[in-house]
Amino acid sequence: TVGAVVLDKQGNLVAGTSTGGMTAKRFGRIGDSPIIGAGTYADNTSCAVSATGHGEYFIRYHVASDICARMKYAKMSLHDAANTVIHDVLLPAGGTGGVIAIDAGGNVAMPFNTSGMYRASIDKHGNVSIGIYK
């Protein structure tokens, strides 16, 4: 699975995700990537999120929109909302994976509860970061 989240010059947040899904999948199995609210979500009043991981859990826990809702209604920061959902909600339930997220201030969060996630970002100051492992 691959994904991107951006803040553009007009102040809009956009999220996108694309995937081949799960190895050896059968019976038309669909994961979270094409499900708006689960693997992809964007709302200018909170954040944009793209997810990757065990899709069934990301659907059941509507991970992408949950992160944005915590910002919108619980007034959590992007970092706290994303880390809470990935580490305190999803992992105890057995869901593994991670997200990339960005907010209207151009802040970036990339939490994951597995040993690695291919990720890269360029923040509002132009700082580049690229990582694979924890």
Tokens of 120: 């890269």
Query: Any contact of residue 12 with other proteins (CB under 8 A)?
Result: yes
Query: Any contact of residue 89 with other proteins (CB under 8 A)?
Result: no
Residue 105: other Cβ atoms inside 10 A: 11
Site string for other proteins, 22-41 (x = CB under 8 A): xxxxx-x-xxxxxxx--xxx
Query: Any contact of residue 91 with other proteins (CB under 8 A)?
Result: no
Residue indicated by tokens 């970092």: 79
Dist CA 3 CA 7 (whole Å): 14
- Binders of other proteins among residues 41 to 70 (CB under 8 A) are 41-48, 50-55
Query: Any contact of residue 73 with other proteins (CB under 8 A)?
Result: no
Residue 21, SS3?
coil
Query: Any contact of residue 75 with other proteins (CB under 8 A)?
Result: no
Pairing of strands 97-103, 40-42: unpaired
Select the residue interacting with other proteins from 71, 76, 85, 102 (CB under 8 A).
102
Residue 1 appears among annotated catalytic residues: yes
Residue 42, SS3?
strand
